[in-house]
Amino acid sequence: MRHALLVSVFIIASCGLAYELIAGALSSYLLGDSITQFSTVIGTYLFAMGIGSWLSRFVTRDLIGRFIQIELMVGLLGGFSAAGLFVLFTWLTAPFKLVLYLVVFLVGVLVGLEIPLVMRILKRDLNFKDLVSQVLTFDYLGALMVSILFPLILAPHLGMVRTGLLFGLLNAAVALWALHLFRNQLAAHQALATQCWASIAVLAAGLAGAGQLTTLAEAHLYADEIVHAESTPYQRIVLTRWRDDLRLFLNNNLQFSSHDEYRYHEALVHPGLANLPWVKRVLVLGGGDGLAVREILKYPQIDSVTLVDLDPAMTKLFSTAPALTTLNRNALTSPKVTVVNADALQWLEEYPESFDFVVVDFPDPNNFALGKLYTAAFYRLLEKHLTPRGRLVVQSTSPLYARQSFWCVVTTLESVGFKVTPYHALVPSFGEWGFILAGREEFRPPEQYPVPTRFLTADTTPALFHFPADMARVPAEINRLNNQVLVRYFEQEWRRVLR
């Protein structure tokens, strides 16, 4: 019996950490700024566990029965937490944070009650020294197991909703196992058995219908028909379609609309590349959709394009799905293109060669994992991979809606010695969007484009480099690894826009 309870400690510790990770990951997906979300969720959860441990002193009778009921409550609340929060976010965004932290607090209180009750049940079989060491050992081992499995297997393959319900079932199974172990000591055995089986049935039904629940919630979240959705270790990928308009969302953020993406990608690539006829080797960082690569391959003198994108699911999708390969004109399967799935910063640190032209097409810096790719340290590393006359271009969010963020990127590029030329273009899906060209030499805008374009012309190019008063330069700090000021700018500015 003692060993069975210690195994139960392992399971309930695993479940408790799983609910904490689910809440942190889900809030990061939906709200951005992963460090803030994880920090506040973990802090709230640990505080609540302390409250639960303190409250356990008031449980004085029927310890086993109370332990079984707490397990069922944890299983139901924690198990359905991801599903409930996801549905709440899609229908009622305003109270989401309040409910999120309330759920985290309640789960934390219940988890905080569990271990003290188990220790009090076990104290009849173990002396205090062995009791503490064995319970805490199994507790920490359970936490270790989930911390490894969650990012590698659970989140990418099961998703948040199914993972929550799976661990809810494990909590209910522990309750049922405890009911069996102590069946001769429980006066209310029949009532507890009914509660256990009812909880298991509800959780199992939720697990069976998790796919439909997620589809229903996402159908409300996205205005158009969802034609593809998947969770990877790095992000949530959703493709929607309305008539002939395909839209890509990463973690609920629009990345492109097929109706006007050509404006963005022409503006990203051609102003910097059009007057560099000597360019042979090109590097694209991010841009796993292959749309920037499509524009680059219009230049016949280019011998090779290396695309570095973190998520293999992204590059596979845009290499194989017919509607998407039509959009990017099979750019990712071109013999000139090499696709590398790796973290861009780590790859640059290890890769020794240089490039004539670099396209930096990362998502906006809405969290610190992305913010590091806009820092002075990253640009200093990137500079080492440019040939002497080489040039790079960086997508740099909106100079209208996120004005200080845009000029922060300019300031950061200048801080490492680049001569920079900012510009902007109107992309209807996004509004005014900003780009920055950088190199060791002064930039001269192209007088013509040697390849076919739908948006850019020689006559309209000068306007790209003119900033009206509401987008003119404003003071901004350098974005460094140790301060990540750009993420703070970005969060503040876009929060004002979206109110």
DSSP string, 188-250: THHHHHHHHHHHHHHHHHHHHTHHHHHHHHHHHHSSSEEEEEEE-SS-EEEEEEETTEEEEEE
Strands 304-308 and 281-286: parallel
Strands 355-361 and 386-395 turn out to be: parallel
Report which secondary-structure segment, H or E, holds 308: strand 304-308
* Other CB atoms within 10 A of residue 128 CB: 9
Residue 298 has which token pair?
């219009």
- How many whole angstroms separate alpha carbon 173 and alpha carbon 196? 8
Identify the pLDDT of residue 26: 80
Given the candidates 3.40.50.150, 1.10.150.650, 3.40.1360.10, 3.20.20.450, the CATH classification of the domain at 260-498 is 3.40.50.150
Tell me whether the CATH fold assigned to 2-218 matches the one assigned to 260-498. no
Q: Quick one: the chain helix, strand, coil %, rounded to 5?
A: 60, 15, 25
The whole-number mean pLDDT for each consecutive block of 10 residues of the chain, a chain of 499 residues, reads 70 88 81 74 92 91 89 94 80 74 93 86 67 75 86 79 92 90 82 94 90 69 81 85 91 89 97 95 96 98 97 96 96 97 93 95 87 94 94 96 97 96 95 96 92 95 96 96 90 76
For residue 212, the tally of other CB atoms under 10 A from its CB is 9
Cβ neighbour number for residue 161 with a 10 Å cutoff: 28
CB 323 within 8 A of CB 355: no
CA distance 190 to 402: 61
What's the one-letter identity of residue 302? Answer: I
Name the DSSP class of 363.
P
The CA radius of gyration of the chain, in Å to the nearest whole number, is 27
What is the per-residue pLDDT for 355?
97
CB count within 10 Å of CB 429 equals 17
Please tell me which residue in 139, 309, 361, 364 is annotated as part of the active site.
361
Per DSSP, the chain holds a count of helices (H) and strands (E) of: 19, 11
Task: State both tokens at 345.
Answer: 């910063």
| Confidence at residue 396, expressed as pLDDT on a 0 to 100 scale | 95
Question: Which amino acid makes up residue 37?
Answer: Q
Which CATH class, in words, describes the domain spanning 2-218?
A: mainly alpha
Q: Nearest 10 degrees: CA dihedral of 107, 113, 119, 120?
A: -150
According to the model, what pLDDT value does residue 130 have?
66
Q: What's residue 308's pLDDT?
A: 97
- Assess whether 470 carries a catalytic annotation: no
Ordered by start, the domain boundaries in the chain are 2-218, 223-255, 260-498
Q: How far apart are CA 169 and CA 176, in angstroms?
A: 10
> Which residues, other chains included, contact 69 with Cβ-Cβ below 8 Å and sequence gap of 6+?
175, 192, 195
Say which DSSP state 446 is in: -
